[in-house]
Structure 1
Amino acid sequence: MAASREREFQGTRGGITVREWPLEHPRMLAILVHGYGEHIGRYEHVADALIKAGAAVFGPDHMGHGRSAGDRVLIEDFEDVVTDVHAVEELARAEHPGVPVVMIGHSMGGMIAARYAQRYGDGLSALVLSGPVLGDWTVIGTLLALDEIPDIPIDPGTLSRDPSVGAAYAQDPLVWHGPFKRPTVEAFARALEAIAKGGSLGALPTLWIHGEEDALVPLGGTRTGIAALRGAGLTERIRPGARHEVFNEIDRDEVLAEVTAFLDRALSR
């Protein structure tokens, strides 16, 4: 794996840890936006693929996640997370002025990246949404209807057809293995509403990639959200047989090659 380093900055609600995979004279700056309950350290192989494609890579642990400050998995307003990610973009641009920026978001990170593109899309050259939480995510209504959210962790088997992925996830001390927190679920609902009302992504080159057998963020619910965002620059790729984490699937090398090829095309426009 490529060498990386960590730094911290003061985010909207506490300290944010950012991992950087540096590259001299990059042709693009890639910002990775991780999903719920996990951390940026699970994206080492994604960063490797991006570095080979000519990117310097940056990715924060969101508030309440990984090595960043805050109560675990507590996010009261996703607009604050978007603001924190924008600070990462500014950090990256300060190191590499004039280099185009691309963003890759997975799951909850795809939701954050979509909202980011609505707020700051003029600064992006391309966007990749992997299994994004968009549109009708029925988990939210189900959990909010309960008096008490049950302590049921995510089933690692839903992540990938590769059993080693689920095993590593289950043993990772930086992954949250407890229940959702009600304020976070309420914040999800507000974020999805804001995105639905936030308008199209227009001509921004956008790759939506989703596992056909994704049980955590089902394809049909996300499709309604994509319809609200859809612009002239959207490319859709549904991966047959794939589960939630397409970057960790049994055909991950093919998926990452498709992502880097998409970014190449976007940068050559």
Structure 2
Amino acid sequence: MPRHVLTGTRGAIAVLERSGPRPRYLALLVHGYGEHGGRYAELAGVLEGHGAAVFAPDHVGHGRSEGERVVIEDFEDVVDDVHSAAGLARSVHPGLPGRPGLPLVVIGHSMGGLIAARYAQRHGGRLAALVLSGPVIGDWALPGRLLAHEEIPDVPVSPAALSRDPAVGAAYAADPLVWHGPMKRPTLEAFERTLTRVAEEGDVGRLPVLWLHGDDDRLVPPAGSRVGVERLTAGTHTERIYPGARHEVFHETNRAEVFADVTRFLDRVVPS
């Protein structure tokens, strides 16, 4: 996929692009903690085939972007970087002459769901739709548990918690762009602040929202996310909870079903 480089709030941000010759909408893929946009190549391919120009930024401290590994001091900066990626997408694919710009969809997974939710609160007036996958939103106990320790415990993500497909966990464990060390205090503190901020900043009005979650997600339990999603959408969202699925529904054994749910939702809500 083509790679762009943006000047981010705290260093250079790498952005992958995947698009056909005449896209009908723009999609921003907002990845999760410790990973990178390149892990979503299959989803990007599905969206490209559906008519999207797909842009996937690596957050500060992640993937091929600059910054100390997995340190995010303020998620507002990451929202700003995602907004810069949206500006890049609009400049590369401005749409047809005499017509308004292409509709923009934001798809956020896990930590990326928190970033995407905050993005929608700040810039929702320019969005056509929001998709949240296993989002860190609402009640999530992990930051508080880890911050209670004087030294942050090294509790790496178990690859088996990601998907029932063992190939997904194996690829994750072998990926040199994935962070496999402990979480860092500034990032955990930023998580707590942003969870509170998103809870306090109100709902996103009439913006169409699709919530996807595995019911066997032990990294970000769906019950805690439900609190945040219902608050963010005032209960007007569409949801798909997949029996037996783990944290990464875009990499799950039933991912064809997940992809179909996403494209059907976008067919319904994104202007043609």
Q: Please indicate the TM-score interval, normalised by the length of the shorter structure.
A: over 0.9
- Distance (Å, rounded) in 2 between the aligned partners of 1:7 and 1:51: 17
- Distance (Å, rounded) in 2 between the aligned partners of 1:145 and 1:222: 22
Aligned to 2:47: 50
Aligned 8 A contact 1:203 1:232 in 2: no
Aligned to 1:62: 59
The answer as to 2:133 corresponding to 1:130 is yes
- Distance (Å, rounded) in 1 between the aligned partners of 2:157 and 2:212: 21
Aligned 8 A contact 1:8 1:16 in 2: yes
- Distance (Å, rounded) in 2 between the aligned partners of 1:232 and 1:203: 11
Aligned to 1:139: 142
- Distance (Å, rounded) in 1 between the aligned partners of 2:30 and 2:77: 14
- Distance (Å, rounded) in 2 between the aligned partners of 1:150 and 1:188: 17
Aligned 8 A contact 1:204 1:231 in 2: no
Aligned 8 A contact 1:208 1:234 in 2: yes
The answer as to 2:2 corresponding to 1:5 is yes
Encode CA deviations 1:108-152: one digit per residue, 9 max, x unaligned: 000100000000001100110000000111101101111111122
Q: Structure 2 length normalisation: TM-score?
A: 0.96
Aligned 8 A contact 2:230 2:237 in 1: no
1:186 maps to amino acid = E
- Distance (Å, rounded) in 1 between the aligned partners of 2:243 and 2:154: 31
Gaps of 5+ in 2: 95-100
Describe the SS at the equivalent of 1:224.
Answer: helix
Deviation, structure 1 residue 94: 1.1
1:234 maps to amino acid = H
- Distance (Å, rounded) in 1 between the aligned partners of 2:136 and 2:69: 20
Gaps of 5+ in 1: none
- Distance (Å, rounded) in 1 between the aligned partners of 2:147 and 2:227: 21
Describe the SS at the equivalent of 2:267.
Answer: helix
Q: Structure 1 length normalisation: TM-score?
A: 0.97
Aligned 8 A contact 2:210 2:239 in 1: yes
- Distance (Å, rounded) in 2 between the aligned partners of 1:165 and 1:112: 24
1:83 maps to amino acid = D
Aligned 8 A contact 2:25 2:53 in 1: yes
- Distance (Å, rounded) in 2 between the aligned partners of 1:86 and 1:166: 31
**Which residue of the other structure, out of 155, 158, 161, is the alignment partner of 1:155?**
158
Alpha-carbon RMSD across the aligned residues, in angstroms, is 1.0
Describe the SS at the equivalent of 2:220.
Answer: coil
Describe the SS at the equivalent of 1:220.
Answer: helix
Aligned residues: 266
The answer as to 2:188 corresponding to 1:188 is no
**Which residue of the other structure, out of 13, 16, 19, is the alignment partner of 1:19?**
16
Deviation, structure 1 residue 154: 0.5
| % identical equivalent positions | 62
**Which residue of the other structure, out of 67, 76, 79, is the alignment partner of 1:79?**
76
- Distance (Å, rounded) in 2 between the aligned partners of 1:62 and 1:235: 27
Specify whether residues 120 and 259 from structure 1 end up closer, same or farther in structure 2 by C-alpha distance, changes over 3 A only: same
- Distance (Å, rounded) in 1 between the aligned partners of 2:154 and 2:220: 19
Deviation, structure 1 residue 227: 2.3
- Distance (Å, rounded) in 2 between the aligned partners of 1:93 and 1:15: 19
**Which residue of the other structure, out of 25, 31, 34, is the alignment partner of 1:28?**
25
Aligned 8 A contact 1:63 1:75 in 2: yes
1:115 maps to amino acid = R
Aligned to 1:173: 176
- Structure 1 consecutive aligned stretches of length 4 or more whose deviation exceeds 4 Å: none
The answer as to 2:59 corresponding to 1:91 is no
Encode CA deviations 1:162-219: one digit per residue, 9 max, x unaligned: 1110011001000000000000000000010110011111110100011000000001
Aligned to 2:202: 199
Deviation, structure 1 residue 231: 3.5
The answer as to 2:35 corresponding to 1:38 is yes
- The 5-angstrom pairing of residues 205-244 of structure 1 reads 205-231=208-234, 233-244=236-247
